[in-house]
Chain A
Amino acid sequence: MASIEELKSRSLWLRQELFELVMRFKKGHIPSCFSCAEMVLALFYGGYLKLDPKNPRSRDRDKIIISKGHAAMVLYPILSDLGFFPKEELLKFTQPEGILHMYADHSIPGIESITGSLGHGIGIGCGFAYCAKRDNQPYRSFVVISDGECYEGSVWETALFAAHYRLDNFVVIVDRNGLCILDSTEKCVRLEPLEEKWKSFGWHVLTVNGHSYSEILRALDEATTNKTGKPVAIISKSVKGKGISFMENRPEWHNQMPNEEELSRARKELQVNCIVN
């Protein structure tokens, strides 16, 4: 289990890895990955996930789905680092000879489900959690959804179901970076008060700064020792594009590629860790 200092250095590493991953073939979604980077790193290196890279389908493994499929690639450097597939695969991201697709799917070791269309991962993850309960298995199901994903009605269908069946082994993390493709969520169609919405659906809700490991670890500790009988929603207040100043909070960078000048500026900025605690 990594310390906060170790996790912080992972933040620096992951952002650099992801940036180069995308720049190699100019494919991928950087800002959406950067907003959930700390949460995902905390899950994988903070000791919250029981996984076996040598046996990715082991029966009692914890399950994790990055339901915001455009950012599921955030897992690729992590999965290769943990040994789910060779590091060389990162060099072949999106290429015909590679196994890593722009949107992740279940053909990739360590990836539980196809994603890319919003509003599915939460239901599938709920199916995992439900089966764990039924089979008296100790594993948990974690799903990272985007705040924009909360526009999908299916999210709330699952929210009702999980609360009714008291799936307290189910943790949904809402990456609340405040942006969808065209604009801020509050300008597009208001989502707030989001915390109250989840609470009213019968969930145990925790709100954290999505770039503060001290807050994230506290929330994940609580989520994974949860005895409330309720599923847990962690609203992770984050910054889309966190770590590259000119991408931060700018919706137009959702899938835009930097020009030469922006490229070197970004690389320079990524040398400095944007995470402080």
Chain B
Amino acid sequence: METVRELPRDVFINEIREAAIKNKNIYFISADLGAKALDRFRAELENQFIHAGISEQNMIDLAAGMTLSGKIVYVYAMAPFVTLRCFEQIKVAIASMRLPLTIVGIGAGYSYDDAGPTHYATEDVSCMRALGGIEILSPSDTSTVIEAARLTYTKPHFRYVRLDRTYLPSLYNEGDTRFVEDGMVEVDKGKDICIMSSGYMIHRAKEVRKMVVDSGIDVGVIDVFRFKPIDGRVLMSVLQPYRKVVTLEEHFLSGGLGSAVVEALVDHGIVKEVKRIGIRDQYYCENGGRAYLQKLSKIDVQAVSEQVKHFAEKHHSAR
């Protein structure tokens, strides 16, 4: 039971703070993004916190030098800035030298809904997926955030942890950590058709499931915790009961979760009917909040439900 609704970033940083108390080699670097938990980190572990200035490029190269010096380093900023602003730094200094370092991005998808496209992370997954050797984690609730954080210091690796800005309700039962090993877990059983999603959107997928049940459609829901790499055997076994697969993401379709899933299906010779649902291929400068942006992008629960119904009922002669 969660008595306090902790934000994903606070859960993550608190976990790192506890590890950093014991391990003085852990350093947390921020490019001026805060958190309640970070205030505590800074107060308690002043010597293990670095303010990099609003200088993401230097933050990454600096972190590379520190990792080469034996430190366990976290770089932290809003998702669009800590990925795209310093993308080439990540490629050269981190990826090409295979450095075990954690990039923590806050604000998946339209998290920063009022801020506009500068703050949206709607292409970060495709960009980061393109980097050689990276592991991408997308937690969907508090327990997944905790396990993601633990992985970063128990098994240091070149990782991007993509966190939502907002509170995410509980998805897994206490003690259920299958997602760590498998990277994806069926959180709701269905029949014939399932939705694969993650983060904020996995909770929308669950709403879609409820919405279409009246139409006699029993949708399974699969939470994808690890976007890269995707384990082909797990994918095959998780999707085994399903003939049709919907992927749902608050991200452009080019290179996002849907692409990752489709590529993995093709690569492993798994034949499924797939429908990818993501943001329409354009940026929106609109007031109205996240729900409105999702509506414009045709990824709101209503629109997705309609698409799922249509897809579920569609019969293909050539099969």
User: Which A residues are within 8 Å of any B CB, using their own CB?
Assistant: 105-106, 112-114, 116-117, 119-120, 122-132, 134-135, 141, 153-154, 157-158, 160-161, 164
Contacts and interface: CB of A to CB of B under 8 A. Distances in A.
B61 A122 contact: yes
Bin the interface of chain B by size. 20 to 34
B43 to A, nearest CB: 18
B315 to A, nearest CB: 53
Given A123-B60, A126-B65, 19 more contacts: A113-B65, A114-B96, A114-B97, A117-B92, A120-B92, A122-B61, A123-B57, A123-B58, A124-B93, A127-B62, A127-B66, A127-B68, A128-B69, A130-B65, A141-B65, A160-B58, A161-B52, A161-B53, A161-B55
B290 interface: no
B66 A130 contact: yes
Contact of B47 (A114, A124, A134): A134
B207 interface: no
Contacts, number: 93
A40 to B, nearest CB: 20
B71 interface: yes
Contacts of A157: 53, 55, 57-58
B68 A113 contact: yes
Contacts of A106: 68, 97
A124 B73 CA distance: 13
Contacts of A164: 53
A134 B46 CA distance: 12
B77 to A, nearest CB: 13
Most B-side CB within 10 Å, residue of A117, A122, A123, A141: A123
A132 B64 CA distance: 14
Nearest to B56: A157
Nearest to A161: B58
Given A127-B62, A131-B66, A158-B58, A120 B53 contact: no
A127 B50 CA distance: 11
A154 B68 contact: no
Nearest to B67: A127
A131 B69 contact: yes
Contacts of A112: 68
A124 B57 CA distance: 11
Contacts of A131: 65-66, 69-71
A236 B84 CA distance: 34
A154 B89 contact: yes
Contacts of A119: 57
* Nearest 5 A/B pairs, CB to CB: A127-B65, A123-B61, A157-B58, A157-B55, A131-B69
A164 B54 CA distance: 14
B88 interface: yes
A114 B67 CA distance: 14
Given A112-B68, A128-B69, A154 B57 contact: yes
Most A-side CB within 10 Å, residue of B50, B65, B92, B93: B65
B71 A160 contact: no
Contacts of B136: none
